[in-house]
Structures are given as structure tokens and as C-alpha cells.
Amino acid sequence: MTGVSDAFVLFGASGDLAEKKIFSALGRLEASGALPPRLFGVAKSGWQVEQLRDRIRSSLKAHAPDLGAPVVEALCRKFDYLDGDYRDEKTFKTLATQLGQSVAPLFYLAIPPSLFGSVADLLKKNHLTQNARLIVEKPFGRDLASAIELNRTLLGIVPEERLFRIDHYLGKDPVLNLVYFRFANSFLEPVWNNRYIDNIQITMSEKFGVADRAAFYDEVGAVRDVVQNHLLHTLSILAMEPPINATAEANREEKTKILKAISPLVENRIVRGQYQGYLAEKGVRPHSATETFVALETSIETWRWSGVPVFIRAGKCLAITATEIMVQFKKPPISVTHEPFPPGANYIRFRLGPDRVEIGLGARAKRPGPTMVGQPIELLVMRNQAGEEEPYELLLGDAIRGDQNLFTSQEAVEAAWRVVDPILKPEHPIYEYPAGSMGPGEAEALVAQHGGWHNPKDPASGTS
Ligand code: NDP
């Protein structure tokens, strides 16, 4: 189906995600004239439409204060509210009546995943899905089997080309820039392979702990929360072949090929950690073995990448909040400067945020003076200090227009679960680490032969 959706129905209108992200994105889309004429919020809070509108006003005040009152009020006027339980057929019969003449609605399931099945069934039973698009929020399952089951449920009501699995990370500007930088610069292509690259490291480090998400996080852990989705998808962008054209299909196909080629994780190449004090967090189960840190090694078994180890690390309560990719080049074959080359001298570094976006080119250059002695330097290719754009505006605008480019396909979701599934075990060794460190020392051994982990630096300490 092509064309613009003619109505937008938000299930989960009274929820946290709606308040924090969705209303402000809709406000911006309203400002640019990109919203359908009719919007509905559905929840079971016992609200009237005015209460929904008040929530929208307070959300926009907090999260999009630059939007003027005319835009805010125009958005509020477009919204209707429907109160009802998602497990009750009456809710959907009323919705069908209210949608009236709409022929191509967009349903957004911003609700707990346990309710996806019920909402999907009742939408279909009430003939609401014939031409509809459906957006679902992550998580897309909690392992391979549940992801396959979820896909079966969702694809039972709409076909893949009308299903939009939203992972906001893929709509972030620094992630989009990775794609752009790779394919807009032909100088990278000759060296972007296993002949020149020694290893790849991806670190997603967070200084904060689980805060008010403890109960949610304790069920999930670092592998499911960020590795299976954000970090494996980032790797697929870094490693994919150039798509044959700019269509969503071509782009998604290349990313999926990489996800399918990533080696499934093995127990002896993964280190899990838990920060000291985690068990005392409110909402965490006693004796919980949930990992708040993970470090792992994998590889991509393609002609281009076979033999290049990929190290991924993610954790909470670490020394810094930063996401960084380090593409480490091999050492020159011999030294003609009489100086042995230390490891880690030649690299491309991508800083993906949160407060700055950078691309740095690491090199060695001769120190001034009579001897052939060098020093590490970094050429900063790009720096952007501006605050991060929220990706929901981009993603919801795409879904309204039916553009799937930045949404995850069924094949990609299942391929990524296939990578992590072997290590999703209820029992595993877990090492404590102090808050403010870079995780347990045991993780060092993974990268010892490749010069150790590259730790993202704090701007205050004067990187580059
Ligand atoms: P919340 O628990 O805050 O909100 C859930 C919403 O669903 C509320 O509007 C609630 O209505 C409604 N609801 C729950 N049960 C029923 C029911 N039986 N019938 C009718 N309405 C019901 O969840 P979030 O907003 O935090 O998350 C929504 C989705 O987004 C989840 O899939 C989550 O994983 C995902 N997500 C959330 C993020 C976040 O930062 N919050 C980030 C990324 C993804 P009521 O309030 O009336 O009970």
C-alpha cells in the first residue's frame, strides 16, 4: 500500500512513552503539516478528551517548549479520546464507529508487549486492518522463539509491508550519519575490509544505573536491552555492502545480510557484569543474575569481514556516558622509521553521542626534532556539539507516509535474535564491578591480543 495514512490511532495514550516522546514528535509533525486530519488516543484511564488534551499540553511544554500555542492547540483539537480496555471488544467496536470513513488508518501500539496479541486480534476481528498500517514498539520478543511467535501474530493481521517495528535508535542522526559517511566517501571503500582492518570495537557506556526502570531492566539485562537491537544493528550499518539503490528494500536487505552473517555468540567469548549496589535497587529481584554489563566477541562471516574480530561492550554505572565505535586498522607491515609501531595507532573513531557526535581519524606523525620518533594524533573529520534530535518525529513521519527504510524487518529481528540466543541462559557467571569503572576486569582478556579496549573519553579531560 502506498499513500499517506488518513487517521492515527495511539494505543497507550496515557503512557510514559507518549508523554516523553510521542506527543512532542506529533507536535512537530503538526507544525510541518505532516499529520493526518484525525488523531485518536486510546487508554483505560477513565479520561475524557479534555484530560488527554491537558496531557498533550503539559507534555509539549516539557518536551517541545519551542512549539507555539497555535500548533499545540491545533494538535489538541485534532485529537479525540477513546476510553476502554484493550482486552474488551467493545473498545474496538467504538473505535470502528469513530474511525468512520477512514480507509487507511495507522495504529501505533505504544503498549506493553503482553497486550500486542489481544489488540492485534481485536483489530482484525473488527475489520479495522484491511488497509491499515501498524507500528509496534520494541522489544520484539525476548528470545528467538518469542520473536518468531510475535511476528506470526502481527503478520496475521497486516502484511510485512504495512508493519513498522520501531527502534528509535535507528532513526538517530549520528546513526544515519554512519550510513551517509560510509557511502558518500569513496576513499573508505578500498580499506573497509579484512585486508586493512584489524578489529572493530563498539562501546555503549552509561554513567547512570537503572534508576526508575529497575523492575523493567531486571527482566531484560544489557544483552536484550541494547546489544540484540541497537548495537547489532549499528554493526550491520558499519559492515553492510552498498545498497543497490536508495529504496527501503535495498537498504534493509543489505543490513539483514550482515545480521545473518554475524556469528552466534559463544559462552567463552562473553563476560557479564553487575554493578555493585544493583541488588539494592528498588524493583530488582533478590539474588538477581541480570547483567548490567556485557562484553563480547563475535565476527562477521562474509568475504569482506571474515577474520576481523568484533568486540561489543555495553553497560550501566560505567565511567562515562558515550557510544563510540573504533575501527582499528592493521599496523604497517614493517617499520622504516626505526620505531616500532604501538598498537592502536591507525583508526577511525565514530562518536555517536549523546552530547557530541564526532568522526576522528587516528594516525601517527613525526614529533618535531632530529629523531624519527612519532606521536599519536587525531584528525577530527567532523564534530557536532549540537543536542541530539529526537528520532520519533522522523520515524512517525515515515510511518505515516509508508516509508519502511528505518524500521526493522522480520528477517532482521529474527537474525539478530539468532546471534544472541545461544547465550540467553538463566544461569551464567557474573562478575561484580564498582560503579564508575569500565566494567569487570575479566572483560580485558577478550581484547588483550588487540591492544585492549578503547575507552571513550570525557570531553572535559581533553580528547583529540
Ligand atoms: P506504560 O506502562 O507507561 O503505558 C502503557 C499504556 O498502555 C498506558 O496508556 C496504559 O493505559 C495502557 N494500557 C495498559 N494496559 C491496558 C489495557 N488492558 N487496556 C487499555 N489500556 C491499557 O508503558 P510505556 O509507555 O513506557 O511503554 C509502551 C511501549 O513502548 C512498551 O512496549 C515499551 O517497551 C515501549 N518503549 C517504552 C519506552 C519508554 O521510554 N517508556 C522506550 C522504548 C520503548 P492506562 O494508563 O490507562 O492504564
Residue nearest to atom 9 of ligand 1 (CA): 12
Active site residue 230: yes
Superfamily for domain range 170-389+422-450 = Dihydrodipicolinate Reductase; domain 2 (3.30.360.10)
State how far the Cα of 278 lies from the Cα of 288, in Å rounded to an integer: 9
- State residue 41 phi and psi, 5-degree precision: -110, 135
State how far the Cα of 407 lies from the Cα of 403, in Å rounded to an integer: 9
Distance 263 CA to ligand 1 centre (A): 34
Tell me the torsion sign for CA atoms 312, 317, 323, 324. Answer: negative
CB of 90 closer than 6 angstroms to any ligand 1 atom: no
Q: Looking at the CA of residue 136, tell me the nearest atom of ligand 1.
A: 32
State how far the Cα of 109 lies from the Cα of 165, in Å rounded to an integer: 10
Distance 241 CA to ligand 1 centre (A): 37
The closest alpha carbon to 330, from 196, 449, 201, belongs to 196
What is residue 200's predicted lDDT score, i.e. its pLDDT? Answer: 98
What is residue 27's predicted lDDT score, i.e. its pLDDT? Answer: 97
434 touches 276 (CB < 8 A): yes
Distance 43 CA to ligand 1 centre (A): 9
What is residue 386's predicted lDDT score, i.e. its pLDDT? Answer: 57
**Number of neighbouring beta carbons within 10 Å of residue 277:** 13
The closest alpha carbon to 394, from 379, 409, 405, 378, belongs to 405
CB of 44 closer than 6 angstroms to any ligand 1 atom: yes
CATH code of 7-137, in short, is 3.40.50.720
Q: Residues, the chain, total? A: 464
295 touches 434 (CB < 8 A): no
CB of 236 closer than 6 angstroms to any ligand 1 atom: no
Copy the grid coordinates of residue 213.
526502570
Distance 73 CA to ligand 1 centre (A): 24
Copy the grid coordinates of residue 290.
541480570
Copy the grid coordinates of residue 383.
564534530
Burial (CB < 10 A; 0-12, 13-18, 19+), residue 309, is buried
Instruction: Report the largest interatomic distance among the alpha carbons of the chain, rounded to a whole angstrom.
Output: 85
Q: Looking at the CA of residue 45, tell me the nearest atom of ligand 1.
A: 47
Q: What is the CA radius of gyration of the chain?
A: 24
Catalytic residue among 168, 230, 233, 450: 230
87 touches 50 (CB < 8 A): no
What is residue 95's predicted lDDT score, i.e. its pLDDT? Answer: 97
CB of 405 closer than 6 angstroms to any ligand 1 atom: no
The closest alpha carbon to 321, from 455, 225, 207, 460, belongs to 207
State how far the Cα of 463 lies from the Cα of 136, in Å rounded to an integer: 39
Partners of 234 in the β-ladder: none
Per residue of the chain (464 residues), give pLDDT as tens.
Answer: 568 999 999 999 999 999 999 999 999 999 999 999 999 999 999 999 999 999 999 999 999 999 999 999 999 999 999 999 999 999 999 999 999 989 999 999 999 888 998 999 999 999 999 999 999 998 899 999 999 999 999 999 999 999 999 999 999 999 999 999 999 999 999 999 999 999 999 999 999 999 888 999 999 999 999 999 999 999 999 999 999 999 989 999 999 999 999 999 999 999 999 999 999 999 999 999 999 999 999 999 999 999 999 999 999 999 999 999 999 999 988 888 888 877 778 999 999 988 889 999 999 999 999 988 899 999 998 777 655 557 999 999 999 999 999 999 999 999 999 999 999 988 889 999 999 999 999 999 999 999 999 999 986 654 43
What is residue 463's predicted lDDT score, i.e. its pLDDT? Answer: 41
What is residue 89's predicted lDDT score, i.e. its pLDDT? Answer: 95
Residue nearest to atom 41 of ligand 1 (CA): 17
Residue nearest to atom 23 of ligand 1 (CA): 15
What is residue 2's predicted lDDT score, i.e. its pLDDT? Answer: 66
What is residue 343's predicted lDDT score, i.e. its pLDDT? Answer: 74
In the chain, CATH 3.40.50.720 sits at 7-137
CB of 59 closer than 6 angstroms to any ligand 1 atom: no
What is residue 402's predicted lDDT score, i.e. its pLDDT? Answer: 96
Distance 16 CA to ligand 1 centre (A): 6
The closest alpha carbon to 168, from 220, 211, 214, 226, belongs to 226
Reduce the secondary structure of the chain to three states and give it as a string.
Answer: CCCCCCEEEEECCCCHHHHHHHHHHHHHHHHCCCCCCEEEEEECCCCCHHHHHHHHHHHHHHHCCCCCHHHHHHHHHHEEEEECCCCCHHHHHHHHHHHCCCCCEEEEECCCHHHHHHHHHHHHHCCCCCCCEEEEECCCCCCHHHHHHHHHHHHCCCCHHHEEEECHHHHCHHHHHHHHHHHHCCCCHHHCCCCCEEEEEEEEECCCCCHHHHHHHHCCHHHHHHHHHHHHHHHHHHHCCCCCCCCHHHHHHHHHHHHHHECCCCHHHEEEEEECCHHHCCCCCCCCCCCCEEEEEECECCCCCCCCCEEEEEECCECCCEEEEEEEECCCCCCCCCCCCCCCCCEEEEEECCCCEEEEEEEEEECCCCCCCEEEEEEEEEEECCCCCCHHHHHHHHHHHCCCCCCECHHHHHHHHHHHHHHCCCCCCCEEECCCECCCHHHHHHHHHHCCCCCCCCHHHCCC
What is residue 184's predicted lDDT score, i.e. its pLDDT? Answer: 95
For β-strands 293-298 and 133-137, DSSP reports them as unpaired
What is residue 138's predicted lDDT score, i.e. its pLDDT? Answer: 87
Residue nearest to atom 33 of ligand 1 (CA): 112
Residue where the block lists cell 557467571? 429
CB of 12 closer than 6 angstroms to any ligand 1 atom: yes
What is residue 342's predicted lDDT score, i.e. its pLDDT? Answer: 78
Residue nearest to atom 26 of ligand 1 (CA): 16
Copy the grid coordinates of residue 225.
536491552
The closest alpha carbon to 325, from 231, 430, 420, belongs to 231
CB of 353 closer than 6 angstroms to any ligand 1 atom: no
In the chain, CATH 3.30.360.10 sits at 170-389+422-450
CB of 87 closer than 6 angstroms to any ligand 1 atom: yes
Q: Looking at the CA of residue 18, tell me the nearest atom of ligand 1.
A: 25
CB of 391 closer than 6 angstroms to any ligand 1 atom: no
